[in-house]
Structure 1
Amino acid sequence: MPALLPETTTPVESALPESALEGLGTRPFGVYVHVPFCATRCGYCDFNTYTAGELDSDSSPQSWLEGLKREFDLAARVLKAPPAVDTVFVGGGTPSLLGADGLRSVLDAVRDTFGLAPDAEVTTESNPESTSPEFFAGIRDAGYNRISLGMQSAARHVLKILDRVHTAGRPVAAAEEARAAGFDHVNLDVIYGTPGERTEDLQASLDAVLAAGVDHVSAYALIVEEGTALARRIRRGELPAPDDDVLAADYEMIDRVLASAGLRWYEVSNWSTSEEARCRHNIGYWRGGDWWGAGPGAHSHVGGVRWWNVKHPARYAASLAAGKSPAAGRELLTDEDRHLERVMLELRLSEGLPLDALDDDGRAEARAAAAEGLLDQSALDGQGRAVLTDRGRLLADGLVRRLT
Structure 2
Amino acid sequence: MPEDGALPPHALEGSGQRPLGFYLHVPYCATRCGYCDFNTYTASELRGSGGALASRDNYADTVAEEIRRARKALGDDPRPVETVFVGGGTPTLLPAADLGRMLAAIRDEFGLAPGAEVTTEANPESVDPRYLAELREAGFNRVSFGMQSARQHVLKILDRTHTPGRPEACVAEARAAGFDHVNLDLIYGTPGESDDDWRASLDAVIGAGPDHVSAYALIVEEGTQLARRIRRGEVPMTDDDVHADRYLIAEEALSAAGFHWYEVSNWATTEAGRCRHNELYWRGADWWGAGPGAHSHVGGVRWWNVKHPGAYAQALSEGRSPGAGREILAAEDRRVERILLELRLVEGCPLALLKPAGLRAAEKALADGLLEAGPYADGRAVLTLRGRLLADAVVRDLVD
Flag whether TM exceeds 0.5 (same fold): yes
Of 21, 25, 45 in structure 1, the residue corresponding to residue 16 of structure 2 is 25
Structure 1: give runs of 5+ residues left out of the alignment.
Answer: 1-9
What residue identity is the alignment partner of 1:190? Answer: L
Task: Check whether the contact 2:260–2:267 (CA below 8 A) recurs between aligned residues.
Answer: yes
Displacement of 1:15: 2.2
Task: Check whether the contact 1:12–1:78 (CA below 8 A) recurs between aligned residues.
Answer: no
In 2, the alpha carbon distance for the partners of 1:284 and 1:81 equals 22
Matched, 1:53 2:77: no
Matched, 1:214 2:210: yes
Q: How does 1:340-355 map to 2 (within 5 A)?
A: 340-355=336-351
Matched, 1:103 2:99: yes
Task: Check whether the contact 1:13–1:77 (CA below 8 A) recurs between aligned residues.
Answer: no
Matched, 1:278 2:274: yes
Matched, 1:196 2:187: no
What residue identity is the alignment partner of 2:398? Answer: L
In 2, the alpha carbon distance for the partners of 1:156 and 1:205 equals 11
Larger deviation: 305-314 or 80-89? Answer: 80-89
Structure 2: give runs of 5+ residues left out of the alignment.
Answer: none
**Alignment partner, residue 394 of structure 1:** 389
**3-state SS of paired residue (2:358):** helix
**3-state SS of paired residue (1:271):** strand
Displacement of 1:11: 4.5
**Alignment partner, residue 306 of structure 2:** 310
Of 53, 61, 65 in structure 2, the residue corresponding to residue 66 of structure 1 is 61
In 1, the alpha carbon distance for the partners of 2:252 and 2:268 equals 13
Task: Check whether the contact 1:309–1:316 (CA below 8 A) recurs between aligned residues.
Answer: yes
Displacement of 1:14: 6.2
Say how many residue pairs are matched. 394
**Alignment partner, residue 365 of structure 1:** 361
Question: Root-mean-square deviation (CA), in Å?
Answer: 1.0
What residue identity is the alignment partner of 1:118? Answer: P
In 2, the alpha carbon distance for the partners of 1:64 and 1:192 equals 33
Task: Check whether the contact 1:191–1:221 (CA below 8 A) recurs between aligned residues.
Answer: yes
**Alignment partner, residue 93 of structure 1:** 89
**Alignment partner, residue 7 of structure 1:** none
- 1:188-233 deviations in whole A, cap 9, x for unaligned? 0000000000111101100110111000000000000011000000
What residue identity is the alignment partner of 2:25? Answer: H
Task: Check whether the contact 1:66–1:317 (CA below 8 A) recurs between aligned residues.
Answer: no
**Alignment partner, residue 384 of structure 1:** 379
Aligned CA distance change for structure 1 residues 377 and 145 (closer, same or farther; 3 Å) = same
**Alignment partner, residue 35 of structure 1:** 26
Displacement of 1:58: 2.6
**3-state SS of paired residue (1:61):** coil
**Alignment partner, residue 289 of structure 2:** 293
**3-state SS of paired residue (1:20):** helix
In 2, the alpha carbon distance for the partners of 1:62 and 1:323 equals 20
What residue identity is the alignment partner of 1:245? Answer: D
Q: How does 1:120-159 map to 2 (within 5 A)?
A: 120-159=116-155
**Alignment partner, residue 5 of structure 1:** none
Task: Check whether the contact 1:85–1:116 (CA below 8 A) recurs between aligned residues.
Answer: yes
In 1, the alpha carbon distance for the partners of 2:317 and 2:4 equals 14
Aligned CA distance change for structure 1 residues 14 and 93 (closer, same or farther; 3 Å) = closer
**Alignment partner, residue 112 of structure 1:** 108
Moved over 4 A (4+): none
In 1, the alpha carbon distance for the partners of 2:252 and 2:343 equals 21
* TM-score, with length taken from structure 2: 0.97
In 2, the alpha carbon distance for the partners of 1:329 and 1:248 equals 37
**3-state SS of paired residue (1:317):** helix
In 2, the alpha carbon distance for the partners of 1:298 and 1:179 equals 30
